[in-house]
Amino acid sequence: MKYKGLKEAVRHSGLSLRRLGQFLIRRKGRPGYIVIPIVILGLFVFVGAFGPLLAPHSATETNLSIRYQPPAWDADGSWKYPLGTDHLGRDILSRILVGARVSLTFALLAVGLAGIIGTLLGLIAGYYGSWIDAIIMRLVDGVMSLPLILVAMAIVVVFGPSFVNLLIVLGCLMWAFYARLVRGDTLSIKEKDFVALAKIAGCSSPRIIAHHIFPSLVHSLVVLATLQIGLVILMESALSFLGVGIPPPTPAWGVMVADGRSVLDIAWWVSLFPGLAIGAVVLAANLFGDWLRDKLDPRLRQV
């Protein structure tokens, strides 16, 4: 059966993001609620690690003789290319599998860079206070007041789009979220009795921060990092979609969505399948982070 456009294909396949969201909301709080996000994230990590080995074709090799070949279940499709091909005849499935490694690597590095910078500055601001705290928090307020995607776009345009440039830009813009969280928790923790006893015992300030305060912040950092993974993937995809992210021919999911935006009426599969991959991973990461927050925060756990 030939589908004339994206709307007909989605309707025929029975896909409904609204139904999926309603199902997950109804399941929240039940024993099996977290299974779906964990399975999606586990599959994402597995494909990110072994995607190039699982890909049936080269992710960058072009073949114009099979350009815009529809998915296998279409009358003109072939199971050799299950999800169809793009405008250069590249296999969509192979590019999604290889692109998962790009998205996973980028998300982990960007979240790690932002977490390191933000945690260090937050610990310093919360523990030492005074003018140091004032300066760092004014920087935090300034960074958090900026529209991240517009600032990232402007900086990448100036220095040129590349994996490294985009990584540095997002990492240096997202540290403020960690700094504010860590600073607030540090202000509370440093007033605890075990910190006072450590000071009486003669522990230096760096040792108190590293061995007494930081371990108490780990659960909050894990939750924030989990939530930020979805945000980073979404921002990377958006910037790649706008042409200022990871440059082609690297098979980034955002680039793949952008490749098909002008041919949605005749080749809807080019944008649909990488878009579904982005949506599934971002939704799963946010649901998992929300569940993890409920489990690790004793106040929410009691509720």
Domain residue spans of the chain = 6-302
At 1 the pLDDT is 43
Report CA-CA distances (Å) from 225 to 16, 32, 175, 222, 238. 29, 23, 11, 5, 20
Report the candidate in 186, 246, 191, 236 with the shortest Cα–Cα distance to residue 216.
Answer: 186
Give dist(CA 44, CA 50) in Å, integer. Answer: 10
At 63 the pLDDT is 83
Question: Position 155: which residue type?
Answer: I
At 299 the pLDDT is 54
Give the pLDDT confidence of 78-107 residue by residue, as tens digits. Answer: 888 888 888 888 888 888 998 888 888 888
Each as own residue / partner, the long-range contacts of residues 255-260 (CB below 8 Å, 24 or more positions apart, any chain) are: 256/86, 256/92, 256/95, 256/96, 256/99, 259/86, 259/87, 260/86, 260/87
How sure is the predictor about 32, in pLDDT bands with cuts at 50, 70 and 90? low
Question: Position 213: which residue type?
Answer: I
Confidence check: pLDDT of 15 > 80 = no
Q: What percent of the chain has pLDDT over 70?
A: 86
Confidence check: pLDDT of 297 > 80 = no
Instruction: Please state the rounded mean pLDDT for residues 46-68.
Output: 84
Give dist(CA 256, CA 91) in Å, integer. Answer: 11
Q: What is the pTM (predicted TM-score) of this model?
A: 0.77
With helix as H, strand as E and coil as C, how does the chain read? CCCCCHHHHHHHHCCCHHHHHHHHHHHCCCCCCCHHHHHHHHHHHHHHHHHHHHCCCCCCCCCHHHCCCCCCCCCCCCCCCCCCECCCCCEHHHHHHHHHHHHHHHHHHHHHHHHHHHHHHHHHHHHHCHHHHHHHHHHHHHHHCCCHHHHHHHHHHHHCCCHHHHHHHHHHHCHHHHHHHHHHHHHHHCCCHHHHHHHHCCCCHHHHHHHHHHHHHHHHHHHHHHHHHHHHHHHHHHHHHCCCCCCCCCCCHHHHHHHCHHHCCCCCHHHHHHHHHHHHHHHHHHHHHHHHHHHHCHHHHHC
Instruction: Please state the rounded mean pLDDT for residues 59-73.
Output: 84
Instruction: Please state the rounded mean pLDDT for residues 38-49.
Output: 88
Give dist(CA 88, CA 223) in Å, integer. Answer: 41
Give dist(CA 170, CA 113) in Å, integer. Answer: 9
Question: How does the average pLDDT of the chain come out, rounded?
Answer: 80
> What kind of architecture, by CATH, is found in domain 6-302?
Orthogonal Bundle (1.10)
Confidence check: pLDDT of 11 > 80 = no
Give the pLDDT confidence of 169-217 residue by residue, as tens digits. Answer: 888 888 888 999 898 888 888 888 888 888 888 778 888 888 888 888 8
Instruction: Please state the rounded mean pLDDT for residues 256-271.
Output: 83
Question: Roughly what angle, to the nearest 10 degrees, separates helices 163-173 and 175-189?
Answer: 30
At 120 the pLDDT is 92
At 9 the pLDDT is 46
At 6 the pLDDT is 45
